[in-house]
Structure 1
């Protein structure tokens, strides 16, 4: 493996970790800087397409709507399998996400998500960006937290 490929893989890992960190911090405007302006973002729950967004303007609107419903996030990235080809790359990120929301009658609901992000990356102006992201929610478990 060449030094350039190793460097690209390190930078791509930093990119996907920045995405998770910015999600946890609810810094959506900063998160949009990780995407190409013409990005494509899809979400599948099991095999059903539930979201298909084009461009960072629409993506930021969608994310802000979602963030308004969530009290706290906690994201943990696992494997990141990447194939680099010059200034383009593809990758799969395995992630575990927890979201805490208000439930009924003063309760809180904790939802655990096991997700695979299937990505297409491009390097523009010496910086890696996410051009396409397909989120596949494999397992979803919600429970009401006891007071």
Structure 2
């Protein structure tokens, strides 16, 4: 492994983490700038696609709508594996997502175990996500005070 490969691996890890941090802040306008212009974002739950988006504008609107009743968003990114081929790369990241919001006038904490399978592209010497498929593997909801 050479220095360039290590630099790319660090940049891809930082990209995934920045996407999560901006999502936690609900800063969707800046978050989607980390995706390519016509990026695809798909969410799969229980083997079924529950959301498929194309492009930054569609992503901002959907993310805002999805999280409108959520007061706290928290992503905890774990292990990441990437394969780099020039200006393209693929990767998988494990993530634990916590959402706290109101449902039926009760405060609910939802914990989601997810994996993200990403396709990355380097444009103007900057890595972006070209496609992200989020697999919501499991989730748990509890009422909190």
- TM-score, length-scaled by structure 1: 0.96
Secondary structure at the counterpart of residue 75 of structure 2: strand
Residue in structure 2 matched with residue 20 of structure 1 by the alignment: 20
Find the aligned partners of 1:88 and 1:4 in 2 and give their Cα distance: 14
The equivalent of 2:71 in structure 1 is 71
1:90 aligns with 2:90: yes
Q: Deviations over 1:113-135 (max 9, x none)?
A: 00000000000001000000000
| Residue 121 of structure 2 corresponds to residue 122 of structure 1 | yes
8 Å Cα contact 1:96/1:112 also seen in 2: yes
Q: 1:86 Cα deviation (Å)?
A: 0.6
Q: Deviations over 1:85-137 (max 9, x none)?
A: 110000001000000011223x2000000000000000000100000000000
2:70 is paired with a residue whose SS is: coil
For this pair of structures, how many residues does the alignment match? Answer: 145
- Runs of 5+ unmatched residues, structure 2: none
**Dislocated runs of 4+, deviation >2 Å:** none
Task: Name the Cα RMSD after superposition.
Answer: 0.8
